[in-house]
Structure 1
Amino acid sequence: MPSHTHDLSLTGSEVRKRFLNWADGEADREWACLRIIDEYAPGIAPRPLRRETADGHPVVVMERLPGHPLGQEPLTAQQTTALGRALRDLYSIRVEQIRAAGIGERRYGPSTLPHALAGWLDESHDLSPCQDPALVQHGIDAARGWLTRPDVLPAPQLTALGIADLNPANVLWDGETCRLVDFEDGGLTDPAYELADHVEHIAARLAGVYDPEALSTAVGLSDDERTRMHAYRPLWAAFWLVMLLPGNGGFRRNPPGTTEAQARHLIGLIG
């Protein structure tokens, strides 16, 4: 499951991102994504400067971008338009260029997350620390049942480059432009899958940061892509329910009742 992966140190012009290990390939993904963006869609992410090793840990050094992270409040219309433009530029990089750069499917991509999620849901969970264990169990059972249905998830498509983690803290706003940081999980993906991930991200959804319809419009999703986006949203809602279960970091970091609220949200999406 996702966990803390890196430390940051900043100067006036550079950001040094020191990864905790080599095993999961975060540094390689980050470097490869930043390089291809700098070549084919410059200006929406930091320029990659160099790679280093510090005390046996991989380090990616990139330029420091202007702006401040988005806050815990809904995006304005101007911010939504700017974020949509940045994502559109990211998705415009051609698949053959992405593959030629040696970039594979994003972490927890459309072909891998359903299986991983099914395994997490099947694990034994002690729900006694929850405020309403029965409701949380109902959410887990609903997610399990939904995942077993053959008709709920679209066929995986890998048609674009995605950032994977659009936590609002990974979007820098300078008053006019949105720029994207943190590509350690990025890779080949489907824009519809990415937008479902982004609007369901717990840090964004609880505060209503991203409006699903407005953001998908700003990105320019087609009707078919919107349909796939809606189909993928329960998958990501179930992912966050797992992250919010007792024993996982999300349970410790969020206020009591957050897990129950996520279970209700998931059950509502499944219908």
Structure 2
Amino acid sequence: MTARRSTHHVHLADSAVTKRFTSWGHGEALREWRGLTLLHRFAPGIAPAPLTAALDAEPPEVTMSRIGGTPLRGTVVSRPALRALARTLSAVHRAVPGQALAAIPTGGRSDRAFELAEISSHLSTWVDSTFDVGFFLGLFPLTEAESARIEHLRRLNALLWLGGLLSDTGTPRRNPPGTAERQAERLLALL
């Protein structure tokens, strides 16, 4: 399992979680806060409830309710967990209006195909985890056009991840040695 390093630090209390950002030049904390408040308004209970935000602090932080669960990174993600993720994503798409998501800076929903491609291409699905992408995507009733778009976008995302990994000179590294090489192999397989 990879050491969990991130662009933020998390403090867990009994009933709350505080996320303190180590990177905030692109509105990360504001995006997080707006996302939580939108989900709480339109789909309460599907995500942590927003509690407080210190968006102008250095570093900024967002505090939310703590919900039960187990991190999936570093595990074999079970089919029941993948089904639950698919149900949750479908519920969010049904509940949150697109115009409300437009209020999230550099965030928001584009379309289902893009989001599914992004999730199924994310490094966390394979760096140190087992995530059955085919099974996961099969849980959604996709049109032929969406399926084709997902495959195209998975290739694009794989290329973007490879570029990011090759330019990642940050310390400490977020992923284990050899991740860029493995990502290059994944990209070639998708091509």
Shorter-chain TM-score category?
0.7 to 0.9
Counterpart of 2:26, as a letter, is: D
Superposed, which structure 2 residues align to 1:39-118 within 5 Å?
Answer: 39-52=41-54, 56-92=58-94, 93-99=96-102, 102-106=103-107
Deviation at 1:267, TM superposition (A): 1.6
Deviation at 1:247, TM superposition (A): 5.1
The alignment partner of 1:245 has SS state of: helix
Offset from partner CA, 1:98-141 (integer Å, 9 cap, x none): 23xx22442xxxxxxxxxxxxxxxxxxxxxxxxxxxxxxxxxxx
Deviation at 1:81, TM superposition (A): 0.9
- Which structure 1 residue ranges, 4+ long, deviate > 4 Å from structure 2? 249-256
Instruction: Give the superposed CA RMSD.
Output: 2.7
Q: Determine the structure 1 residue equivalent to 2:148.
A: 227
The alignment partner of 2:44 has SS state of: coil
Whether 2:182 is the aligned partner of 1:237: answer: no
Q: Determine the structure 2 residue equivalent to 1:197.
A: 118
**Higher Rg of the two aligned structures:** 1
Give the structure-1-normalised TM-score.
Answer: 0.60
CA gap 1:250/1:39 in 2 versus in 1, 3 angstroms: same
Give the structure-2-normalised TM-score.
Answer: 0.82
Please identify, of 243-252 and 27-36, the stretch whose mean Cα deviation from structure 2 is larger.
243-252
Deviation at 1:229, TM superposition (A): 0.7
The alignment partner of 1:196 has SS state of: helix
User: Retained in 2: the 8 A contact 1:81–1:218?
Assistant: yes
Please identify, of 252-261 and 220-229, the stretch whose mean Cα deviation from structure 2 is larger.
252-261
Deviation at 1:249, TM superposition (A): 4.8
Q: Which runs of 5+ in 2 are unaligned?
A: none
Q: Determine the structure 2 residue equivalent to 1:212.
A: 133
User: Retained in 1: the 8 A contact 2:19–2:62?
Assistant: yes
Q: Which runs of 5+ in 1 are unaligned?
A: 107-186
CA distance in 2, matches of 1:82, 1:90: 12
Deviation at 1:71, TM superposition (A): 4.1
Deviation at 1:37, TM superposition (A): 0.6
